[in-house]
Amino acid sequence: MYSIEPKHEFFVGIDSDGCVFDTMELKHKECFIPNIIKYYELQAISKYAREAAEFVNLYSKSRGINRFPALVEALEWLQKRPEVKARGVDITIPQSLRDWIAAETKLGNPALKTKVAESGDEHLTHALKWSEQVNVTVSEFVHDVPPYPMVRESLQKMAEKADMLVCSATPNEALKAEWSEHDLTQYVTEICGQESGSKKETLSNASQYAKDHCLMIGDAPGDHKAAVANDCLFYPINPGEEEASWQRFHDEAIERFFNGTFAGEYQQKLLDEFDSYLPEQPKWRVDA
């Protein structure tokens, strides 16, 4: 885990995909989901596989979680769909994958490679092949996607008073490529992706700062949970309303954070609004 050396009075953690960059739809619809269908042989139910994976990764309260738990959750939803059962497709979820996810905190390809080398497990080997191919596809597809309007201006506004960390479940290599492509690395102390540990672990750097001087900016409930676990304030980037969220952050929330009026009623209003954007249950029918 990266440990920051405080240089400013305030600390800000920032998610990347779907928060700073409009890359969530692109990555999942063009990179992750086609590879899930291919590697997990879901061609016969591709429509439902796509719906399940999009729900988990984009349109539910699971939005933004690590790719491996997200894969398992999407397969779990498929197990519950009567349409999948009606087509005679058997969805199996390897126990070894569940066990690795439960035990490992750095849920990335390097840690999975180590586990594969130790165990020789065929299901983990297959999951690694899938994940590696996802990265290849992302490298081919994801470029020329600028940050949302007002992101750069917000980073500039915070730079003189806050130490900033990118706190993401995306692989480090992809993060550094995206932030460098758009010349945003100059504003952050470090870029911490999945190989650096969980968002909760990365945000533990907040313990070095005063109460209410730490903030997490994110677009998913998991970002909020990581913030709460580290006693950080949270500013939500609402899915589908990213431009308006960043405009509000720039125009009013930054100043509230710095002057001590962010916590309490203002933050709660933001959280209540954020909670309304993502459901826990899909619109399509599932069996218990």
Instruction: Report the b/e string of 53-84 with b at 16+ CB within 10 A.
Output: bbbbbbbbbbbbbbbbbbbebbbebbbbbeeb
pLDDT band at 114 (very low <50, low <70, confident <90, very high): very high
Global pTM value: 0.89
CB-CB contact of 227 with 218 (8 Å): yes
How do residues 177-217 score in pLDDT, each as one tens digit? 999 999 999 999 999 998 888 899 999 999 999 989 999 99
**Encoded tokens for 234:** 């949270």
CB-CB contact of 232 with 206 (8 Å): yes
pLDDT at residue 123 tops 80:
yes
CB-CB contact of 200 with 230 (8 Å): yes
DSSP class per residue in 154-174:
HHHHHTTTEEEEEE-SS-HHH
pLDDT for res 171? 87
Segments of 172-249 assigned E as strands: 190-192, 214-218, 233-236
pLDDT at residue 288 tops 80:
no
- As a whole number of angstroms, the distance between CA 1 and CA 16 comes to 18
| Residue 214: strand, helix, or coil | strand
Q: Tell me the backbone φ, ψ of residue 48, rounded to 5 degrees.
A: -75, -35
pLDDT for res 177? 92
**Encoded tokens for 160:** 């003189």
Identity of residue 108: G
Domain residue extents for the chain: 10-22+147-275, 24-141
- As a whole number of angstroms, the distance between CA 227 and CA 235 comes to 10
- As a whole number of angstroms, the distance between CA 203 and CA 1 comes to 10
Q: In what order do the strands lie in the sheet with 190-192?
A: 190-192, 162-167, 10-14, 214-218, 233-236
Q: Can you state the angle between helices 122-141 and 109-119, rounded to 10 degrees?
A: 150
Fold of the 10-22+147-275 domain: Rossmann fold (3.40.50)
Segments of the chain assigned E as strands: 10-14, 162-167, 190-192, 214-218, 233-236
pLDDT at residue 176 tops 90:
yes
pLDDT at residue 91 tops 70:
yes
- As a whole number of angstroms, the distance between CA 211 and CA 207 comes to 9
Tokens 């672990």 sit at which residue? 201
Give, in degrees to the nearest 5, the angle at Cα 168 between 72 and 149. Answer: 120
pLDDT band at 169 (very low <50, low <70, confident <90, very high): confident
